[in-house]
Amino acid sequence: MQDPKGLTPEDMAVLRPLFVSSGREYLATFLDALATVRTAEPTEETLGVLHRSIHSLKGAALQLGVLHIGTLGKAVEAVALAVRRKPGGLPAQGIDLLEEGARQLAEYLTHIENGEETTEPPGELLSQLQGLADVLADDDSQRKAMGG
């Protein structure tokens, strides 16, 4: 975790537990919305919650200099945003991939809470998430180009 400019170690000691607590809430909200996507036709509201919850976690992480969560959160958010723009386009394997991203994010939060160093996000997971986001975005672009 890199300390952002302008924050003292004392500031970070106060902010770190708040970040972990709110991060867990964002992840729980994300996973609840994802469970709805898995079991039912998601509404625009559900897709909005899916996107906003991971967007909030990513943003908070980047503001505090928690780069590993910010980086992985950005990749998960790219998929959530693509799904929001293309409802019904997320295959079961994509849901599994988002769940794997959420598990990794939860693990990072535990490491931060315990004052432990974290490893970089798994490159393969980042690649898979970005690939899925690209496929979903390309499918949406192709549909719009065809007038659909």
Cβ atoms within 10 A of the Cβ of 61, count? 26
Q: Give dist(CA 141, CA 89) in Å, integer.
A: 13
Rounded CA separation 73/57 (Å): 7
pTM of the model: 0.88
Average pLDDT over residues 27-39: 95
Instruction: Return the CATH fold of 9-145.
Output: Four Helix Bundle (Hemerythrin (Met), subunit A) (1.20.120)
Residue 87 pLDDT > 80, yes or no? no
Q: Which two tokens stand for residue 99?
A: 């769940």
- Residue 19: pLDDT band (50, 70, 90) is very high
Which residue shows structure tokens 């945003």?
A: 81
Report residue 54's pLDDT band, with 50, 70 and 90 as the boundaries: very high
Give the whole-number percent of the chain exceeding pLDDT 90.
66
Q: How confident is the model at residue 145 (pLDDT cuts 50, 70, 90)?
A: very low
Domain residue extents for the chain: 9-145
Q: How confident is the model at residue 148 (pLDDT cuts 50, 70, 90)?
A: very low
Q: What is the pLDDT of residues 88-110, one digit of tens each?
A: 778 889 999 999 999 999 999 99
CA-CA distances (angstroms) from residue 78 to 16, 110, 138? 25, 24, 13
